[in-house]
Amino acid sequence: MTRTAHLRFPVRLAWITAAALVACAASAAEPEPLVDTTGIDRAALDQSVKPGDDFYAFANGTWVKNHEIPADRSSWGTFAIVDELTEKRTADLIRGAAKNANSGSPAAKIGNYYFAFLNERTIERRGARPLAAELKRIDAIHDRDQLAAYLGWTLRADVDVLNNTNLHTENLFGLWVAQDLSDPNRYSGFLLQGGLVMPDRDYYLNPSQHMAEIRARYQSHIERVLRLAGTTDARADAAKVYALEERIATVHSSREETGDVLKGNNHWSLADFASRAPGLNWAAFFGAARLTAQHEFVAWQPGAVTGISALVASEPLETWKAYARFHYIEAASPYLPKAFVDEYFAFHEHTLSGTPEQSPRWKRAVAATNEALGEAVGQLYVAKYFPASEKARAEAMVSNLLAAFAARIDKLDWMAPATRAEAKAKLAALKVGVGYPDHWRGYGGLRVMPADAFGNLERARLFEYDRNLAKFGMPVDRSEWVMNPQLVNAVNLPAMNALNIPAAILQPPYFDPQRDPAMDYGGTGATIGHEISHSFDDQGALFDSTGRLRNWWTEQDYAHFKAAGAQLIAQFNAYHPFPDISVNGNQTLSENIADVAGLSAAFDAWRSTRKDGPAPTLAGYSLEQLFFISFAQSWQNKVREAAVRRRIVTDGHAPAEYRADTVRNLDPWYAAFNVQPGEKLYLAPKDRVRVW
> 41: which DSSP letter?
-
Q: What region, left, alpha or beta, does residue 125 occupy, with left being phi > 0 and alpha being psi -120 to 50 degrees? A: alpha
When pLDDT is cut at 50, 70 and 90, the band that residue 438 belongs to is very high
* Between 14 and 318, the higher pLDDT residue: 318
pLDDT recorded at residue 163: 45
Question: The domain 4-13+16-91+364-687: what is its CATH number?
Answer: 3.40.390.10
pLDDT recorded at residue 692: 87
* 432 phi/psi in degrees, rounded to 5: -105, 115
Q: Which CATH superfamily is domain 128-335 in?
A: Neutral endopeptidase , domain2 (1.10.1380.10)
> Considering Cα of 168, then 173, then 179, then 181, what sign does the dihedral take?
positive
pLDDT tens by residue, 51-77: 999 999 999 999 999 999 999 999 999
% the chain with pLDDT above 70: 92
The beta strand positions in 370-465, using DSSP E, are 431-435
When pLDDT is cut at 50, 70 and 90, the band that residue 620 belongs to is confident
CA 220 to chain centre: 29
User: Does 34 score more than 90 pLDDT?
Assistant: no
User: Does 43 score more than 60 pLDDT?
Assistant: yes
What is the C-alpha to C-alpha distance for residues 296 and 267, in angstroms, rounded to an integer?
7
pLDDT recorded at residue 16: 26
When pLDDT is cut at 50, 70 and 90, the band that residue 611 belongs to is confident
pLDDT recorded at residue 539: 82
AA letter at 434: V
AA letter at 451: A
pLDDT recorded at residue 617: 79
User: Does 135 score more than 50 pLDDT?
Assistant: yes
pLDDT tens by residue, 343-395: 999 999 999 999 999 999 999 999 999 999 999 999 999 999 999 999 999 99
Do 378 and 485 contact (CB within 8 A), yes or no? yes
Burial of 50 (0-12, 13-18, 19+ CB in 10 A): middle
What is the C-alpha to C-alpha distance for residues 488 and 88, in angstroms, rounded to an integer?
13
> Considering Cα of 513, then 30, then 55, then 405, what sign does the dihedral take?
negative
CA angle (337, 112, 103) in 5-degree steps: 150
AA letter at 231: T
Do 218 and 198 contact (CB within 8 A), yes or no? yes
**Could you tell me where the DSSP H helices lie in 277-386?**
282-288, 302-314, 317-332, 338-345, 352-353, 361-385
Task: Summarize the confidence of residues 32-61 as an average pLDDT.
Answer: 87
pLDDT tens by residue, 536-558: 888 888 999 999 999 888 899 88
Burial of 81 (0-12, 13-18, 19+ CB in 10 A): middle
pLDDT recorded at residue 169: 54
pLDDT tens by residue, 257-285: 998 899 999 999 999 999 999 999 999 99
* Between 275 and 611, the higher pLDDT residue: 275
Per mean pLDDT, which range of 19-23, 147-151, 565-569 is the poorest?
19-23
Instruction: State the pTM of this model.
Output: 0.90
Q: Which of helix, strand or coil describes residue 482?
A: coil
Do 39 and 519 contact (CB within 8 A), yes or no? yes
Domain range summary for the chain, segments of one domain joined by +: 4-13+16-91+364-687, 128-335
Total length of the chain: 692
Considering the chain, what is the average pLDDT of its residues?
91
pLDDT recorded at residue 682: 98
Cα distance between the two ends of the chain = 25
What is the C-alpha to C-alpha distance for residues 297 and 547, in angstroms, rounded to an integer?
18
What's the per-residue H, E or C state across 554-570?
Answer: CHHHHHHHHHHHHHHHH
What's the per-residue H, E or C state across 216-232?
Answer: HHHHHHHHHHHHHCCCC
When pLDDT is cut at 50, 70 and 90, the band that residue 462 belongs to is very high
What is the C-alpha to C-alpha distance for residues 124 and 337, in angstroms, rounded to an integer?
5
pLDDT tens by residue, 234-249: 999 999 999 999 999 9
What is the C-alpha to C-alpha distance for residues 376 and 364, in angstroms, rounded to an integer?
18
> 584: which DSSP letter?
-
pLDDT recorded at residue 37: 61
> 23: which DSSP letter?
H
Task: Summarize the confidence of residues 403-408 as an average pLDDT.
Answer: 96
Provide DSSP, 484-516: -TTSS-EEEEGGGTEEEEEGGGSSTTTS-TTS-
